[in-house]
Structure 1
Amino acid sequence: MTDYATTSQGDRVAYDLRGTGPALVFVTGAGPDRADDPVTAETARLAADAGLTTVTFDRLGRGESPAEGRLGLDRELAAVAAMIEVAGGSAVLVGHSSGCSVSLRAAEAGLPVTGLALWEAPLGDPAATTQAWADEIERLLDAGDTENAMRHYMKDMPPEWLAGMEASPAWPALASVVAAYRADAQSLAWAQRALEDGTLDVTVPVLAMYGTETFPEMPVAAASIVAQAPKGTEKEMPGAMHSWEPGPMAAELAEFARASAG
């Protein structure tokens, strides 16, 4: 059953809490909410069955966490902080895609993060390129041009993903969700700059993962994160098309969360 928490910035966040034990908070990337993300939900359920506390939540502006105005990284970090509190006061963050950069920023900002389990962080372009991409998304959002903002956000993704969205009669509504991606763009630009400058300051254990069938840049990104994380490890896991397999992932997260907690 859905529960709700209010962040320090006044946003209302919908979440599901399961299990007891060392905690995991799942931070999704751009796109999914709990209702259309069965892989994360199943992983959280299996991890809870294995003796962990798990929290899945709808990020701001998505699903049952509606939010108005400028949905920047500061508000997203406040939502993550609220979910860590729900989980018991400290947690491993499980980042997926751009949720990896949000999670990295949360750890560097001093939130009570015990570890980072990161799945396929989409990093690797020059920092200036990533910053220009993020700036254009923000410009289009500020102009109210959500359709072109969504096109720009997805410009480096497989073209069939965007084509499928544009072919849907619900395209305008689908595009409007890009207003919630401002924090993703900001966090990716920040993370890419930190990696390029060698200034990433994350001291908690980091597990950077990628699927057995994935895009070529994903293992490279994992290696670049681990190179700057004193307690970093990279690992190939069962998975394809930017997603993991719930059973092996839940087992890996259970082991990592217990090690990070103690």
Structure 2
Amino acid sequence: MSKKRAGVVAAVLSGLALAFTSTVAHADEGLDVIAHRGSSGMAPENTAAAIDLAVDQRADFVEIDVQRTKDGKLVNFHDCTMERTTDVEEVFPNRPSYRVSDFTWAELRRLDAGSWFHDNFAGERLITVDDVISHIRNTDTGLLAEISPCGHYVGIATDFAQNLTGKPRYVQRALAREQLAVQSFQVDDAQEFHALMPDVPIGFLDADRPTEQELVQLSQWADQVNPQHTVTDQALVDRVHELGMDINVWTVDEPGAMRRMAGLGVDGIITDFPQSLTQR
């Protein structure tokens, strides 16, 4: 990181830290601070800059998104198409599709994934899942990986399980330290991954409030239920815990909402601003 870029980031972080400190206490012991797409409120999401900043801020986990390129490389990218956060339309004009899966890794490496966020991040590149693990494997920050919900993928849960299986030392260490989990909006993908790697905690993401029947069914195989914070209340938190599962809520950026969720006793808060909870 250049001195200029580091100075800008440090100044903005300092201002935010002061703003949040007056309204949000330090994260309760046992509450996981989960950096959404890395520290994505302060750096371009799902880039090395966002991952490294989350580690520096002492987030307990970085949350990433697993997609697959045309030539089979697993990459860290959220949207199904790349127009919002890259210059893909300029680099590859008139392509019929801008889905991640329609590009090779060599093509994706040419894209600027930082300028959309701020000029100071110009030239920030896309990174692979392997890159993410390399950045966090010798740190105290764990990995919460979301299997992409983009409907055109087939077998991506298996591909990700095979990728992790090829890293036995990392997986063993991460599991021993409770620093690895996987989640998905798609029940089929979550169950597919769970069947291949049953020792890795698996979570189900939900934008709506899960019903009692859904919770009971999930408790038969899932380790986590991870709903949107706006549908989460004390009754839901208590029921998830009664059924033996953890609950991580997303995406919580407003200080008052952070206080409410912590007060409900959730296990983790997924946020774009991890420093507001870690005070780092």
Normalising by the residue count of structure 2, what TM-score does the alignment of the two structures yield? 0.37
Max Rg structure:
2
Larger helix proportion, structure 1 or 2? Answer: 1
Normalising by the residue count of structure 1, what TM-score does the alignment of the two structures yield? 0.39
